[in-house]
Chain A
Amino acid sequence: MRNDAASETLEDDLLDLVAEEGMIERAALDREANLADLNIASADFIMILMAIEEKYGVYISVDNEVADLQTVQDLLTVASKKIREKSEA
């Protein structure tokens, strides 16, 4: 069973990472914000995915997993799912 507190912490850590790599002010980073509205260029988005790979050892492809993402929360959900899958494997 999923530990909700641990999951929440993981998503918070991921938010820090998105803010840093996407060069967005952490306080301004709303989970429900639309990714398209955050002015994250395609290159910044790839830096976010690269940082997730470095920190958590999970590879997230642009086309496979994140092509249909709309909001910041969508990204957090995909990333934390991959990270949990890896730690449980």
Chain B
Amino acid sequence: MSLPRVVITGAGAFSPCGAGVASLWDAARDGVSAAREVLFSAIAEQRVTRAAAISAEFYEANAGDTVKPRMQDRVTGFALIAAAEAVAQAGLNEADFGGACGVIVGSGFGGADTLDENYLKFAAHTYGAGLTRMDAMAVPKIMTNAAASWISMTYGARGPLYCNSTACSSASQSIGLAFQLIRAGAMTRCITGGTEACVVPGVFRAWEALRVLTPDQCRPFSRDRNGMMLGEGAGILIVETLEAAEARGAEPLAEIVGYGTTSDAGDLLRPDPEGAASAMRRALAEAGIGAREIGYVNAHGTGTIANDVSETQAMRAVFGDVFDGLAVSSTKPIHGHALGAAGALETIIALEALRSRTAPPSLNFNEMDPAIGFTPVHGSAQDFEQDYVLSNSFAFGGINASLILGAAGRL
């Protein structure tokens, strides 16, 4: 018996580019960055001041009735907003959830805002600034699986629930795991993706301390690149068997055809090109396609010196002769590096790229780096013809994840 085919029937995005997949895709295709100045009064000497952040006003304006701020950190709110869009697009009804529907939604930091705020209150109390009431709901708001659990509660999805927390690979691995579990017969349908709400003072300062944030602009693959830019948001996909989608008359947006994930087992922070290459190779092997059948790669492309050199070496090793003509870009200068949501937002961009056969540009690319030796799509979007796209996510801890989507027209 052959494995079931797994298709995407709905997508939702809540990002610094706006509410909805359309606003994310329009920004990516047209090269419009959501980067802005972000200042925190809690950081005494803030070194980096740019990020792609979701403002409190914009979040509140989009929260709607499903979001319950008293019970939920914004990381859960972001996910619920994105999930509502995905569920609506997929056309799911109450009967489509239940035991056959799982939830796999990852996050790197979980309820960072609640954690940050309550540590400050705790410190103020402990170190003499008087008694401050802590949030009694802090634990259930902070726990990394809160978003996944609230999605399951909101829709009555009673199948397997996982929260994959693998830093910047959280979302890609969540989608990949959903693909594998559906293929294995553990569920028929899954609400999957990632969410992150990390642009809060404590997390921002922690990233600053790691010294990988750009002080000015995120410029992936460019010779003058000097670091990454933080982002946040949520991306949610509805994935299900082709059979289940057809049975309820849903129209697939694309098929997930390959997923490869590996770990470097090397340095905690420094990426290994061989690990990244092996993830892409596994995804291609599972898809049963050759490298030249990929029309577009949404690269991890953080804009740090180390990632972009390593990822390029990996892509060159995997794509060989085809690499120089391949449309590759990083969309992180547009929506920021959304960490545990990055893979979901970028898979959604790859999905829209595939549906329109349009590769979005790498913003802020100025000059080819001789250490890299390739030029991504830049300036404006570029057409491609192939039926497949690939999205990469690589995480601290040496975790590599590559997803390949195939066009719905092949089904």
Contact = CB atoms under 8 A, between A and B. Distances in A.
Given A61-B227, A63-B226, A43 B268 contact: yes
Contact of A50 (B209, B225, B269): B209
B268 A49 contact: no
A62 B304 contact: yes
A54 to B, nearest CB: 10
A62 to B, nearest CB: 4
A41 B226 contact: no
A41 B264 CA distance: 14
B305 A67 contact: yes
Interface string A39-70: 00111001001100000000111111001000
Contacts, number: 45
Interface residues of A, number: 13
B212 A63 contact: yes
Contacts of B212: 61-63
B267 interface: yes
Contact of A63 (B209, B225, B269): B225
Nearest to A64: B226
Contacts of A62: 210-212, 227, 304-306
A60 B212 CA distance: 10
Looking at chain B's contact residues, the main secondary structure is: loop
A84 to B, nearest CB: 19
B305 A63 contact: yes
B227 A64 contact: yes
Interface string B290-334: 000000000000001110000000000000000000000000000
B214 interface: yes
Given A42-B270, A43-B269, A59 B47 contact: yes
Given A59-B47, A61-B211, A64-B215, A41 B227 contact: no
Interface in B177-232: 209-215, 225-227
Looking at chain A's contact residues, the main secondary structure is: loop
Contacts of A43: 268-269
A60 B209 CA distance: 10
A63 B227 contact: yes
Contacts of B225: 63
Contacts of A49: 211
A69 B272 CA distance: 19
Nearest to B307: A63
Contact of A61 (B226, B268, B269, B306): B226
A52 to B, nearest CB: 10
A23 B140 CA distance: 39
Interface of B: 47, 209-215, 225-227, 267-270, 304-306
10 closest residue pairs by CB, A with B: A42-B269, A67-B305, A62-B211, A63-B227, A42-B270, A63-B226, A61-B211, A64-B226, A59-B47, A63-B305
Given A61-B213, A63-B214, 15 more contacts: A42-B268, A49-B211, A50-B211, A59-B211, A60-B211, A61-B215, A62-B212, A62-B227, A62-B306, A63-B211, A63-B212, A63-B225, A64-B226, A64-B227, A67-B305
